[in-house]
Amino acid sequence: MTSLINDRLCQTLQGQITDRPPIWLMRQAGRYLPEYQVIRRRVPDFMTRCKQPDLVTEITLQPLERFDLDAAIIFSDILTIPEAMGLGLRFIPGQGPVFERPITSPEAIQALPQDVLSDLTYVFDAIQTTQAALNKRVPLIGFSGSPWTLSAYMIEGQSSPSFSKALQLSQQHPQAMHQLLACLTQHVVAYCSAQIDAGADVIMIFDSWGGRLPDDLYSSISLDYLNKIVSELTLKHPNIPTIVYSKVSFPRVQQLMSIPCMAIGLSHEVDLNKVRAQYPDRVLQGNINPDCMSASDPQQVIDETLKCLKAHGDGPAIINLGHGIKPDAQIDHVHTLIETVHQYAAARA
């Protein structure tokens, strides 16, 4: 990792004390920014935007030009791996990601291509151009979806309240499901490793749908593979910190603590006071309710941010939302969140 001008995030992830907690926001580059909407009108297709490195760099840097953030996250999507596997990913307005050729049988799993990295070079090129543009200003976060989350979309064909098709395949064809998860685990490790080689300073794994799994499947279908990914990445890249975000309840947060990552990202649905009390020394990321960013009253942002800061207490913390920032979030509210963190830290200094 090269020397950074602002290294609060990396210092925090490495267990060092900083002047204040680092701040970045999931989906900080995106639809709530008017400058992003200009690009969106010019290039309507989402994946086309993702596959143009210069455009990705421009979009990635947009929030840093507006806000005093402590990290950049590469503009991309968690579904790049299954898209590279030829499942025909499209993003439909008002519906989200849809796969034209979802997995419908164990035989379809056997037929999946083994090489995906050659179709993901646009991500690595974008990381290189973005790092050059950042010029060591802040760390750059690379990321991937978790094997379970990727497989859920690949089998269901789109987002779902229950991912019932994916769960059904897990229960009716467990061997095939684990074959898919093992394959995706290899791809995620290779993909994240290539992002690091391209210049990513931090890697984040999004287990967005871990909470959809029943208790009897959570460990074997999600947690075990997360452990394997982080362990392998740590072995290959011992100086690159990893963050795991999983939208799960408190009992499963306790299970997440077994993962050897440097930080755990928490959903806003989890009681941060409870987690911090049990894990005072663990680096925790989150978990401000993203709904406050769309509220009419900025006091809601102040209240939610202070609630988060007080819950973190003296423990190592990364200030973030509990989920991605929404398209109707207000620009001024982002400034308010950041200023609240700065003022709180200054008052405690």
Active site annotation includes 40: yes
Has 8 been annotated as catalytic?
Answer: no
Sign of the torsion angle spanned by Cα atoms 145, 233, 26, 2: negative
CA distance linking residue 89 with residue 156, whole number of Å: 12
- Annotated catalytic residue, options 36, 153, 245, 344: 153
State the Cα–Cα distance between residues 315 and 283, nearest whole angstrom: 7
Rounded Cα–Cα distance for residues 62 and 34 (Å): 10
Is position 77 annotated as part of the catalytic site? yes
Pairwise CA distance, residues 345 & 290, whole Å = 21
Find the DSSP H helices in 43-84: 46-50, 53-66, 80-84
Active-site residue among 20, 27, 276, 282? 27
**CB-based burial of residue 80 (10 Å sphere; 0-12 exposed, 13-18 middle, 19+ buried)?**
buried
Look at the block and give the residue holding tokens 């009897």. Answer: 216
The answer to whether 73 and 29 have CB atoms below 8 angstroms apart is: yes
Catalytic residue among 7, 70, 77, 201: 77
Rg of the chain on CA atoms, in Å: 19
Query: What is Dmax (Cα atoms) for the chain?
Result: 61
DSSP-assigned letters across all residues of 268-334: TTS-HHHHHHH-TTS-EE--B-GGGGG-S-HHHHHHHHHHHHHHHTTS-EEB-BSSPPPTT--HHHH
| CA–CA separation, 112 and 266 (whole Å) | 33
Cα distances (angstroms) measured from residue 191 to each of 1, 123, 200, 230: 18, 9, 11, 13
Is 66 an active-site residue? Answer: no
- Catalytic residue list contains 115: no
Q: Active-site positions?
A: 27, 31, 40, 77, 153
